[in-house]
Amino acid sequence: MMRSDPRALQLNEHGQLKHFLTLDGLNKTILTEILDRADSFLSMGEQSVKKVPLLRGKTVVNLFFENSTRTRTTFELAAKRLSADVINLNIETSATSKGESLLDTLQNLEAMQSDMFVVRHSDSGAAHFIAEHCTPNVAIINAGDGRHAHPTQAMLDMLTIRRNKGQFEGLKVAIVGDILHSRVARSQIHALTTLGVEDVRLVGPKTLVPSYFADLGATICHDMSAGLDDVDVVVMLRLQKERMSGALLPSESEFYRLYGLTEEALSWAKPDAIVMHPGPINRGVEISSEVADSDRSVILDQVTNGIAVRMAVLSMSMSGQVQEQQGGLGVEA
């Protein structure tokens, strides 16, 4: 259980990021700063030397208690492009698998003068728990915790939307599929509403889109045609079968028939609507290959944008940590 407000925990006294745990409660100014900084990093991918010295001398530990390829790899690339030293901790072969507690593991990593932990965990609130118990000079970045949040994924999605649509005001965005189990969807809703999107629709069967999600400021739609009608952005979500219990779906084929994104279903959206997916994609279950590989798909752009967004978050959090430690003297990390 979370014992303190993560929104207060992740900001220093000057209102700057020192941890990045959730988008819930962060204001439009901070989210826009992340997007602007990420934009400035995007051109680095085209340069022969893809590095800047913002985190030179710092050590970033990727602490992944869940399997991940895309997120862990892009965090590693982001840290290395900022000139940090990177440690990828294999939890399956680490001391935690031999009975060592999470706090013992963290204390050993702190003793190695680590500066930042990028944490993915199956338990909601894990990143917040670590931020509460770590030494104050270690920045904690949430790379996904249970069903709770995946803030960097949501921000790379926001960057993708902004680069394609120019602005957020006036957009209509549909998030389709397994909302119930999706930490990505929760973070996307917070990001979209904070950045000015007034029409956010959650589309899927009643078993996967409970009515209480309307409390987050979204509209619930159980009919695909109504959910996609005239939208500017379609975000498809993976069916998280590993988190499901009970008969939430009759079958994958039935789900695809009713909620899969086919060319016919996409025709209900605006002609210039873009298609997104946080990955990994289940073709023929959530989305057809024709749509996933079409000109309207920006799925690979999301991956590219993910490196830039994670560079922005890592650099901003480290800068916020340094300013707090040095009494706000304006020293950059």
Extract the annotated binding site for carbamoyl phosphate: 70-71, 120, 150, 153, 279-280
- 96-101: Cβ within 8 A, 24+ apart: 96/65
Q: What torsion, rounded to 10 degrees, do the Cα atoms 200, 206, 209, 212 define?
A: 90
CB atoms within 10 A of CB 5: 11
Q: Give one DSSP letter per residue of 190-207, joined into a string.
A: HHHHHTT--EEEEES-TT
Identify the three-state secondary structure at position 172.
Answer: strand
User: φ and ψ at 17, to 5 degrees?
Assistant: -65, 135
- Report which residue type is found at 183: R
What 8-state DSSP symbol labels residue 84? Answer: -
Residues making up the annotated binding site are 70-71, 98, 120, 150, 153, 183, 238, 279-280
Cis peptide before 53 (omega within 30 of 0): no
Distance of CA 7 to the CA centre of its chain: 16
- Report which residue type is found at 206: K
Q: Could you give the count of Cα atoms lying within 13 Å of 83 in the half-sphere of its Cβ?
A: 9
Residues making up the annotated binding site for L-aspartate are 98, 183, 238
